[in-house]
Structure 1
Amino acid sequence: MEIAQDSSETREVEAGAEFSVDLSRSGGAGYRWEVAGLPDGIAVTGHSLMPEGATAAAPPTPGAPIVQRFALRAMASGTITFRLKRPWEEASVRTHTANIRVR
């Protein structure tokens, strides 16, 4: 897998409103994003996988990139840390931090 740079983002959200963080990964290398740090006041409310760029006319091909979507709800500001890794390995190949500011 090509190792990309770590990334970050800052979001402003309404207190109690649901929002999502979408993270791309390879579809066939065994890597997946996991929540590595979740502060009090922010909760994961769902998780889904979507083929990147797939449509009804152009279905995904095996091993194509996948978008991993984390649905979240924030009642307080904080920073969420995600790690891209294989479940059987300790080390991550990439991290993503989402700085959440509640209005």
Structure 2
Amino acid sequence: MPKPDNPNYLTAIDAAALKISHLNAKSQAGSKRNKTMNMNQLIDMIVRTVVRRAVNSGVNAGFDAMSNLGRKTSDKPQVTEQTTRESDPEREKLRAMRQARRAARSAQNITNS
């Protein structure tokens, strides 16, 4: 590490100022170039912009669909499990039949063991 009494020693501020002046010189040198855009560059720029917007909107729509943010729950009445089971006697009848079959099967397995 160079010592501060060395004339070639740069502080961090000096180094940053040198870098900024170097970048400014570079950008001014580049400004002498021809700044006109040919038709191919212009079409490419427009196509990239359109494709980027289309992809972003598709990705956003996909995330909204996957997180159910796009679903409108305020339009539909809230239906809970309790109201569904209470309002559908056919469902209760099927559930009771399944439960009876399960009980019969387990009783048969116990007697066969």
- What TM-score does the superposition give when structure 1 sets the normalisation length? 0.14
Larger strand percent: 1
The structure that has the greater radius of gyration is 2
Identify the structure with bigger relative contact order (alpha carbons < 8 Å, sequence gap 6+): 1
- What TM-score does the superposition give when structure 2 sets the normalisation length? 0.14
